[in-house]
Structure 1
């Protein structure tokens, strides 16, 4: 019986994996930004925070690239410093005047929203949270008074598409 071998990664993936590792070593994580397309809003996510600090990787959907990058860097920096990001808990100290919260990401969304992370975590064995940001008026995507289309623009990456780690308006926003 012959040995089974796994073909090597293509050169492009080898270079991307090396860049992810370098960014994680240098900055604590790499940020991958994906532009808006016909299928949905832009999104950005971290790669390497779990490997480097034991901090859950994070994704934010629907924010402009600059805002998403700043938000993700602040999240990793604070989380590695010991701040806990508990689903349903509001955090008022990252964006002035706009709170954020987090929700655990359903693993079924990992391939689509954390694709590059699989270069570091082959089987997807890493925790991930979604950072959720309300409108400037304080409306969350799941609330009935949210602007039309907001729930589609800032898709909630839970299995149900609704908050699952808290009860909206009771134990969370």
Structure 2
């Protein structure tokens, strides 16, 4: 797995930082369940996304992120995935998982750190001292094609960024417009 001997998160190290309701809610979820899910709904600027906070703290497994589905669907998928992590199925790059979406496999891809500030600010705040590992959970279209497969629809590629590619090298789209 990843080598980080000490966790510097908000739960493990007392800090002189003001905590808001979102911080307290995330901390409560991580204490009670081992992780929390942050939901970013779709808006006029682009698709929504969701990500975990706490898998690294609790299980030393990478955090997970999904993009482009309804946020409640992604929340359910990430909770299912996190349940698997809690049972010992840690996230590994380029791993096919059939325990996330019924009748479909997803693939986990290591996220390049150039995306972290744009997409995972809440996780960076929680952990205080990155880097921490993130995996993108990539889902296929109804035909089982992933965004990188020939014949995948352009919409599938728009809904899910290719976070394993550095942000500066990524094709322009809603994800690269994020600060």
Match in the other structure for 2:22: 16
Match in the other structure for 2:102: 96
- 1:53 lines up with 2:43 in the alignment: no
Paired residues, what number? Answer: 153
Q: After TM superposition, list the pairs within 5 Å mapping 1:66-105 onto structure 2.
A: 66-105=72-111
Q: Which moved more, 1:86-95 or 1:17-26?
A: 86-95
Which residue among 149, 152, 161 is the counterpart of 1:146? 152
- Which segments of structure 1 move beyond 6 Å, counting only runs of 4 or more? none
**Length-normalised TM-score, structure 1:** 0.80
**Length-normalised TM-score, structure 2:** 0.77
CA RMSD of aligned residues (A): 1.9
Preserved contact between residue 46 and residue 59 of structure 1 (Cα < 8 Å): yes
Shift of 1:78: 0.8
Structure 2 unaligned blocks of 5 or more: 1-15, 172-179
Shift of 1:108: 1.0
Preserved contact between residue 49 and residue 66 of structure 2 (Cα < 8 Å): yes
Structure 1 unaligned blocks of 5 or more: 1-7, 163-173
Q: After TM superposition, list the pairs within 5 Å mapping 1:99-114 onto structure 2.
A: 99-114=105-120
Q: Look at both structures and tell me which one has the larger radius of gyration over its CA atoms.
A: 1
